[in-house]
Amino acid sequence: MVLRTVSRRMLLQAAEEYAASQGQIALRTRAMVDRKWRSVVASDITGSWDAVAKTVLAAVTSGQLAAAAAAEPYLRSVLTEQGLPNDPAGTVQPAMLAGIAPDGRDLGSLLEEGRIRALDRIGQGDPPTSALAQGLMRLQLITTTVLQDTGRTAVGVGVAVRSRVGYVRLLNPPSCSRCIVLAGKWFRWNQGFARHPKCDCRHVPSREDVAGDLRTDPSAYVQSLGISEQDRILTKAGAQAIRDGADLAQVVNARRGASGLSIAGARITDAERASLIGGTGQASLSTVEVYGRQLAVTTEGTTIRGVAGQRLASNGTERAPGSRYRSARAPRLMPEAIYQIARDRTEAIGLLRRFGYIL
């Protein structure tokens, strides 16, 4: 099946419009974070941060909801443009991706890193103004990355629940060398989206037999750049080697490999994989460490007060009487971890439904 030129153009336009809308969500959220950070004063960083921390958390959570809610309309649009059926086994639930960092960490604790950075810089002897600026930079980086990861995770869930659909990686220029070499590559539904902080590359949902028309040529992209920009992105030596005929992927991989690229919420051990696939009882989980921050398993967002906890409770999930915690029989897996442990798409869909990511 080959896409008509007009369909391909409209498809890429849909992807660009989606990227622009996600950018606007991030821009509005960062503006709110910036306004609240202005209330933080060097004479009492912790106290003044505590006064606005809940508002910042609410703003980022709201941004996550908006970023995740855009996934389903985007998926429908790009699949329709390719003439592919839109037959999901479930609908993405944005609330289950909000109020928690995409790698499973507590979002409020993650946002604390802005305060921690400012205090650390003052401890290192930086002027208060500089220390506060460093704290804001850290907070803005976290906000941007969280929103981008949330949007990508929502699209990834939507891809996973659609038969035979994977995705093509689309650049959102300007792009770094690590992303350029992955441009246009088709990935299966369960292959996580490797990204670096602030990475704004996108999924274009597609099937492998039609994805060829969507491919971005990494070499063509590099050739479209000026020499100074090539030197900046690839280093002078690397860029010159490519201009002299060296393979782009080999040059980038030799210099950086996968350095700096990771998949949010995808780390899980073999013991956890066996335990979580093999049983649902708490006893089967008690012998493995599953609540560490480095794992793609979380209990965050599952309290009654959390967005995810309210969603789970409304779906009829049982919880102990008088407790603010749901009586989960297993910790909540992040979507990327589900893709790791599921033996096939059917099992992944079942786990996505079990943990509330789809209905």
Average pLDDT per run of 10 along the chain, which is 359 residues long? 47 82 96 97 96 97 97 92 88 94 87 96 95 96 93 94 89 80 84 77 78 68 86 84 81 58 61 46 30 40 44 42 37 83 91 92
pLDDT for the residue 126: 95
Helix or strand or coil: residue 205? strand
Rg, Å, the chain Cα set: 22
pLDDT for the residue 140: 96
Helix or strand or coil: residue 32? helix
Pure H helices in 99-166: 107-111, 113-123, 128-160
**5, HSE (Cβ side, Cα atoms, 13 Å):** 0
DSSP structure class, residue 38: T
From CA 305, how far away is CA 309, in angstroms rounded? 7
From CA 231, how far away is CA 239, in angstroms rounded? 5
pLDDT for the residue 326: 37
From CA 236, how far away is CA 192, in angstroms rounded? 31
The conformational region for residue 331 under phi > 0 = left, psi -120 to 50 = alpha, else beta, is beta
Q: What are phi and psi of 169, to 5 degrees?
A: -85, 125
Tokens of 288: 């493995």
**DSSP of 237-301, one letter per residue?**
HHHHHHHTT--HHHHHHHHTTTTT-B-TT----HHHHHHHHH--SGGGGTTS----TTSSEE-TT
Place of tokens 């809308």: 21
Helix, strand, coil % in the chain, rounded to nearest 5: 55, 5, 35
pLDDT for the residue 103: 78
User: Which sign, positive or negative, has the C-alpha torsion 146, 78, 90, 156?
Assistant: negative
pLDDT for the residue 13: 78
Tokens of 81: 């443009």
From CA 182, how far away is CA 24, in angstroms rounded? 25
Closest CA to 211 of 24, 8, 50: 8
CA-CA distances (angstroms) from residue 336 to 91, 197, 200, 317? 17, 17, 18, 22
Is the CB of residue 205 less than 8 Å from the CB of residue 155? yes
pLDDT for the residue 252: 77
